[in-house]
Amino acid sequence: MISSFLQIAFAAICCWVLFITIDMIWALPREGGVVGAKAIAAAVEKTGGDLRGGTMMGNIVSSPDASAGTLLAACGVYCFGIPGGLIATVLVYIGNRICYDPGYAGTTGCFLATFMVYLGTQIGIPAEFFIIGMVIAILTIQGISHRHSSRLLGAIWRIRR
Amino acid sequence: MEDSEMSIDGTEDLLGLISGPFSSSYISPPSESAELAALMCGLIALYAVIRIILEQDVMRKLPFLNVFSFAVSGIMALLIPHPLGIIAAATYFIGSTFESNAIASTWAGGVEE
């Protein structure tokens, strides 16, 4: 039981690092992709958060980004192995186009996460732990304190820039 | 525990008699680690719902709704270990993202020209 929780924690850290890295490479904090993302950024800034971090949170809400890609890749590998992850990549690409997102963060994230989750299953961490790991990772960004998580994202964005 | 396993076996026999997606050879009952993961996803979904109810600002409800969608699509894939499970989870997730996008854009004053 304890080793299960350690494996979940390890999977959560892997997912967190992967999706933050890919979102930063695709410059999600630079500007809101749609008007709704900008409105969420403004609401987060009003409570004392960082505008750049809020913009990234708005973009995550408004379109499937690398975090959604990682979750769906883990689901795909859990259900159907590597082909499942590639099916998920196609679905995320379609989702990006439906949501008027000009970027490819979700597609890239899903494709890379497929191989990360597959490697994880090879070293003994089951794919289902990557699913809950990604849910925990998104909880730390979107679900605990918008003020602190937006400041953290803003600080990472300033390092990247 | 034994009782529940017996009832799962009984259900499997019943499903084996009828044709349909659940009699596929691909599907098997979720493993113990998948049940642990689904339970944790359920707790996170419940937490997200409580935060959505308590939050006053509509725009700041949406990130919590995003956490809820993540948890529910995770549960869907975990409980349907079948190639169609990934399509169900992905379609639900993309649909809920599109809805959040529509709510946020409408609330913020419509589509930009």
Write down the pTM of the prediction: 0.87
Q: Give the pLDDT confidence of A54-71 residue by residue, as tens digits.
A: 999 999 999 899 999 999
% of chain B at pLDDT higher than 90? 51
Q: Do B97 and B48 fall within a single domain?
A: yes
Q: Does B87 touch chain A (CB under 8 A)?
A: yes
Q: Do B97 and B71 fall within a single domain?
A: yes
Structural domains of chain B, count: 2
Q: What is the phi/psi pair of residue A124, to 5°?
A: 105, 5
Q: Do B64 and B11 fall within a single domain?
A: no
Q: Do B63 and B24 fall within a single domain?
A: no
Q: Do B4 and B40 fall within a single domain?
A: no
Q: Do B79 and B107 fall within a single domain?
A: yes
A2 found inside a domain = no
Q: What is the mean pLDDT of residues B88-102?
A: 93
A1 found inside a domain = no
CA B101 to chain centre: 19
Contacts 24+ apart (CB under 8 A), A80-86: A80/B83, A80/B86, A81/A118, A82/A114, A82/A115, A82/A118, A84/B83, A84/B86, A85/A110, A85/A111, A85/A113, A85/A114, A85/A115, A85/A117, A85/A118, A86/A111, A86/A114
A12 found inside a domain = no
Structural domains of chain A, count: 1
Q: Which amino acid is at B33?
A: S
Q: How far off is chain B from A43, nearest CA to CA, in Å? A: 6
User: Of chain A residues 92-151, which have a CB less than 8 A from chain B?
Assistant: 92, 94-95, 98-100, 126, 128-129, 131-132, 134-136, 138-139, 142-143, 146
CA B48 to chain centre: 13
Chain A residues closer than 8 Å to B64 by CB: 142-143
pLDDT at B1: 45
Distance linking the first and last C-alpha atoms of chain B: 60
Q: Give the pLDDT confidence of A118-144 residue by residue, as tens digits.
A: 999 999 999 999 999 999 999 999 999
Tokens found for residue A105: 């963060």
A8 found inside a domain = no
pLDDT at B32 exceeding the cut of 60 = yes
Q: Do B102 and B112 fall within a single domain?
A: yes
A9 found inside a domain = no
Q: Do B70 and B109 fall within a single domain?
A: yes
> Which of A34, A126, A142 faces B105 most closely, judged by CB atoms?
A34
pLDDT at B6 exceeding the cut of 60 = no
Q: What is the mean pLDDT of residues B50-77?
A: 94
What DSSP element (H or E) covers A39?
helix A35-46
What is the rounded average pLDDT for all residues in chain B? 81
Q: What is the mean pLDDT of residues B65-71?
A: 96
For residue A34, what pLDDT band results from cuts at 50, 70 and 90? confident
% of chain A at pLDDT higher than 70? 100
pLDDT at B62: 94
pLDDT at B83: 87
> Which of B62, B71, B86 faces A135 most closely, judged by CB atoms?
B71
% of chain B at pLDDT higher than 70? 71
Give residue B57's domain range.
31-113
For residue A31, what pLDDT band results from cuts at 50, 70 and 90? confident
Q: Do B76 and B105 fall within a single domain?
A: yes
A7 found inside a domain = no
Give residue A80's domain range.
21-149
